[in-house]
Amino acid sequence: MNCNEAVTLVAAYADGEIDGPRGDLLKKHLLGCAGCATQYQSVLALRAQLRAEIPYFPASPALRARVGAVIGAMDAALPSRPRPAIERWRWLTSGALAGCTATILAWVLGTAVIDWRASDDLAVDAVTTHVRATLSNRLIEVASSDRHTVKPWLSARLDYSPPVQDLADEGFALTGGRLDTLKSQPVATLVYRYRQHTIDVFVRPASAHAPPPALRTVRGFNVAHASGSGMDWLAVSDVSADVLSPFVQRLARADAAP
Ligand SMILES: [Zn+2]
């Protein structure tokens, strides 16, 4: 094996795709050729760097279900045993069908990724807003533990009226509220105190978009989501997830929202 041949194979070899006699020849060449060995090492280094630096996101159960459904539909749509008499025609139609299902699969994956990106950006946006408010000492614009003060203050400044309640007897004291912008839309922010922690709860009318994940961590902050009372509830805090998630679900429950 010469260098020209070896260089074209190193990337596939690094991925474990070259085996058998060709793999042996390449391995032998790499042992004896410094130039090609360097090329091979740089492919390995690049792969390690990509693995280390590009975030890995497991597919959500919803995405898995959608992809599974499409693959199931493909299996059902494609003839498994074409009869010889019409074999050629079947080949043609199954080719066209495969093209269609591939297009549908690409579309489903594409929209799922767009949904995921939108919800991902929402969590990042929420954390950024929370941090900005904390750092600029702008956590509270209307300071009150009285929901009859906070709610009208917010309602007067928004085109919706967020449910507001104080859960001080459960450890979550309402300390006030403020107006923020989330995904370029004005949003009501309720501010709660839990021990030494501040919890921001963004409340906005439920949207038709795919809901964000129930729980995420962004830059060390937990972001917990719940839907209820016609609203989307997004809580951001440095409190632990096992405190934050039940809290936001409690707020979102219809019976808890007067
Ligand atoms: Zn070489």
Query: How confident is the model over 198-253, as pLDDT tens digits?
Result: 999 999 999 877 778 889 998 899 999 999 989 999 999 999 999 999 999 999 98
pLDDT at 96 over 70: no
Q: Give the pLDDT score at 59.
A: 75
Ligand 1 centre to CA of 38 (Å) is 9
| Residue 167, pLDDT score | 93
Which secondary structure element, helix H or strand E, spans residue 143, and what is its range? strand 142-143
- Does residue 102 register a pLDDT over 50? yes
Higher-pLDDT residue of 87 and 176 is 176
Q: Which residue has the higher pLDDT, 111 or 140?
A: 140
Length in residues, the chain: 258
pLDDT at 95 over 70: no
Task: Using a pLDDT cut of 70, give the percent of the chain over it.
Answer: 79
How many angstroms separate the alpha carbon of residue 50 from the centre of ligand 1?
Answer: 25
pLDDT top residue among 196 and 136: 196
CA of 101 to the centre of ligand 1 (A): 43
- What is the Å distance from ligand 1's center to 48 Cα? 23
Q: What is the CA(27)–ligand 1 centre distance, in A?
A: 11
Confidence of residue 112 (pLDDT cuts 50, 70, 90): low
* 118 Cα–ligand 1 center, Å: 47
Query: Residue 43 Cα, ligand 1 centroid: separation in angstroms?
Result: 15
Q: For the residues 77-106, what does the mean pLDDT come to?
A: 56
* 128 Cα to the center of ligand 1, angstroms: 51
Closest CA to 6 of 25, 15, 45: 25
CA distance 3 to 26: 10
- Averaged over 166-183, what is the pLDDT? 92
At 196, is the secondary structure helix, strand, or coil? Answer: coil
CA of residue 4 to ligand 1 center, whole Å: 7
Q: DSSP letter for 220, please.
A: T
- Give the Å distance between the CA of 53 and the centre of ligand 1: 30
Q: Phi first, then psi: what are they for 151, rounded to 5°?
A: -60, -50
> What separation in Å is there between the alpha carbon of 29 and the centre of ligand 1?
6
φ and ψ of 183, to 5 deg: 50, 45
Q: How far is the CA of 28 from the centre of ligand 1 (A)?
A: 10
pLDDT higher than threshold 80 for residue 104:
no
Gap from CA of 34 to ligand 1 centroid (Å): 7
Query: What pLDDT was estimated at residue 257?
Result: 46
Q: Is the dihedral of CA 92, 97, 99, 100 positive or negative?
A: positive
Residue 7 Cα to ligand 1 middle (Å): 7
Q: Cα of 26 to ligand 1 centre, how many Å?
A: 9
CA gap 145, 7 in Å, rounded: 70
Please give the mean pLDDT across all residues of the chain: 82
> What is residue 233's predicted lDDT score, i.e. its pLDDT?
95
Cα 125 to Cα 43, 98, 113, 180, 182: the distances in Å are 36, 40, 18, 11, 7
The answer to whether the CB of 202 falls within 8 A of the CB of 188 is yes
Q: Is the pLDDT of residue 156 over 90?
A: yes
